[in-house]
Amino acid sequence: MKSILNFSKTVIAAALLFLIAACEKEDFLVFTATTDGTLSFQNEIQPVYKLSNATSSNIAERLVWNAPDFEAPTTVTYLVELSTAKSFATINMNSGDTSNNHFGISVANLIDLAVELGLDEDPSTSNADGEPNTKGTVYARVKAFAGGTSSGANQAVLTSEAKTFNIEMLEAAASCEEAVLSTWGLVGSAVNNWGGDSRGFAAGNDVPFLSNGTERLYRSALFMNDGEFKIRQDNDWGVNLGDTGGDGVLEANGDNITITAGNYYVEFNENEMTITVTPADPVWGIVGSATLNGWGDGPDVKMIPDPCNEGVYLVYGVTLADGEMKFRADDDWGVNLGDDGVDGTTDANGANIAVSAGTYNITLNTVDNTYSVVAQ
C-alpha cells in the first residue's frame, strides 16, 4: 500500500513540473502598429477662396481624408494642422484631436490666417510694391496617430501631403464722400494770369478743387492756356505747391508746372502730395450770358464728374449774373442741353435756363436727364 502511495505522489509531482514548465514557455500575442499605410485628402481644392467678413461664419472647405491602415487593431486619432508656411515651421492653428475623418475649415479660420499674412479688405492699404494686399497662400495637412491621443512619446504617426489654399480677401466697397468745395485751387499764367484774372468763382480768382470722394483727394476741371501753374490754398501764396523735377510729386514752394493749352482734369492727392493732369475729353461745362465768358466768347466753366455717382457732373461756388445758361460738351454746340418746360429736366437743344445773379452749386445728371442750380 505504501508503495502505491509513493508512486501516486511521484506522478503528481511530475505533472506539476510539466505544467509549470509549460506556463513558463507560453507565447503572448503582441501587435505593433506600423506606418506603412497611406494618408491623403480625398477632396479637390478650389483654385481660390474669396474671403469676406460678411461670410465669416460659412464653411470654406470641408477636408476629407482616408482611414489609414496601421496593420494593428488600434483606435486612430486625427489632427489637422494649418500654417502660413509651406514647411509648417509654424502651426498657426489646428483642429484638436478628433476621431472623425473630416474637418470643416471656416471662412473665419482662413481670415485669421490671412491676417497672419498681413492681408486685409481695406482698399486703402497695399503691399510694399503698391499692389493690393489681398492675396496669399496657406497650407493644410492631416496627421493620423495610432492610439487615442495625438500626444505621447514613440507613437506611430502618418502625415499627409499638404494641400495648398490660395486665398483672397475681398476689398470692402470704399465709402464715397460727397464732393464739397475745398480751399485748394489752381493759379498761374495758364490759369488766371497768376491770380490777376477772375475765372468766375466766388472764393477768388483761382479755379477751385472739389473733394474727390476720399479724404484729402481733390479734383478740378478747367481750360488752361499754354503756360505754367501751381496749386495754392485760400487764393494766397502762404501755402503753395509746385513740382520740382517734373515727377508728379509736389513740394512746398516747388517749381512751376508747365502745360500746353487744352481742357484738363487735375487730381491732387494731399495724402501722398502728388498731382495727376489728364486731358478732359469729353468734358461738360456751362455757357451763357449768365456766365463769365458769355455765349462762347471764352472757355466754358467746366464741371467735374461726381466721385460718387456715375454720369453726374458738378461745378460748385460758381458766380452767375442775371441772364441765361445752358449745358454743353467740349465747348461745342454739337451736344447741348436746355430746359423746355422749366421743370428741372434737360432737353437736347432745349430752351435757355434763366438765372438770377448769385453764387451757385450746379449739378447735371445725364443718367436721369435732370439738373439743379442751388443758390449758396
Mean pLDDT of the chain: 90
The SS3 call for residue 349 is: coil
1 inside domain:
no
Of residues 54 and 9, the one with the higher pLDDT is 54
The SS3 call for residue 18 is: helix
The whole-angstrom distance between residue 50's C-alpha and the CA centroid of its chain comes to 12
Pairing mode, if any, of strands 227-233 and 236-242?
antiparallel
Is residue 2 very low, low, confident or very high in pLDDT (cuts 50, 70, 90)?
very low
| pLDDT score for 72 | 85
Q: What is the pTM of this model?
A: 0.60
- Comparing CA positions, the residue from 343, 347, 50 lying closest to residue 171 is 50
Of residues 68 and 7, the one with the higher pLDDT is 68
DSSP states along 113-173? HHHHTT--S-TT---TTSS-S-EEEEEEEEEEEESS-S-SSS--EEEPPPEEEEEEEPPPP
- Number of folded domains in the chain? 2
CATH at 198:
2.60.40.3620
Is residue 34 very low, low, confident or very high in pLDDT (cuts 50, 70, 90)?
low
Q: Within this chain, do residues 143 and 192 fall inside the same structural domain, yes or no? A: no
Q: Within this chain, do residues 80 and 107 fall inside the same structural domain, yes or no? A: yes
Checking if the pLDDT of 1 tops 80, the result is no
Cell of 184: 485748394
The SS3 call for residue 77 is: strand
Tens-digit pLDDT profile for residues 193-248: 999 999 999 999 999 999 998 889 999 999 999 999 999 999 999 999 999 999 99
3 inside domain:
no
DSSP states along 88-111? -SS--EE--SBSSSEEEEEHHHHH
* Domain housing 55: 49-169
Residue carrying C-alpha cell 480768382: 205
| pLDDT score for 176 | 83
Residues 6+ apart with CB under 8 A from 343: none
Q: Within this chain, do residues 188 and 117 fall inside the same structural domain, yes or no? A: no
Checking if the pLDDT of 121 tops 70, the result is yes
Q: Within this chain, do residues 114 and 199 fall inside the same structural domain, yes or no? A: no
User: For the chain, percent helix, then strand, then coil, each to nearest 5?
Assistant: 10, 40, 50
Is residue 356 very low, low, confident or very high in pLDDT (cuts 50, 70, 90)?
very high
Tens-digit pLDDT profile for residues 299-315: 999 999 999 898 999 99
Checking if the pLDDT of 344 tops 50, the result is yes
Q: 254 φ, ψ to 5°?
A: -75, 180
Q: Within this chain, do residues 151 and 226 fall inside the same structural domain, yes or no? A: no
Q: Within this chain, do residues 99 and 248 fall inside the same structural domain, yes or no? A: no
Range in 6-15, 66-75, 199-208, 290-299 the model is least confident about: 6-15
273 inside domain:
yes
**Measured between alpha carbons, how far is residue 351 from residues 145, 172, 287, 288 in Å?**
85, 44, 13, 12
Q: Look at residues 140, 169, 198 and tell me which one is the last residue of a structural domain.
A: 169
| 122 burial via Cβ count (<10 Å: 0-12, 13-18, 19+) | middle
| pLDDT score for 8 | 47
4 inside domain:
no
Checking if the pLDDT of 3 tops 50, the result is no
Q: Within this chain, do residues 279 and 232 fall inside the same structural domain, yes or no? A: yes
Residue carrying C-alpha cell 488766371: 192
Averaged pLDDT, 121-135: 87
Q: Within this chain, do residues 99 and 154 fall inside the same structural domain, yes or no? A: yes
319 inside domain:
yes
Residues 6+ apart with CB under 8 A from 149: 77, 97
CB 335 within 8 Å of CB 299: no
Checking if the pLDDT of 319 tops 70, the result is yes
Q: Within this chain, do residues 117 and 257 fall inside the same structural domain, yes or no? A: no
Checking if the pLDDT of 12 tops 70, the result is no
Range in 21-25, 154-158, 368-372 the model is least confident about: 21-25
293 inside domain:
yes
Of residues 89 and 152, the one with the higher pLDDT is 89
Q: Within this chain, do residues 349 and 232 fall inside the same structural domain, yes or no? A: yes
Report the distance separating Cα 255 and Cα 37, nearest Å: 74
CATH at 92:
2.60.40
> Which segment, 29-43, 166-180, 360-374, is predicted with the most confidence on average?
360-374
| pLDDT score for 19 | 45
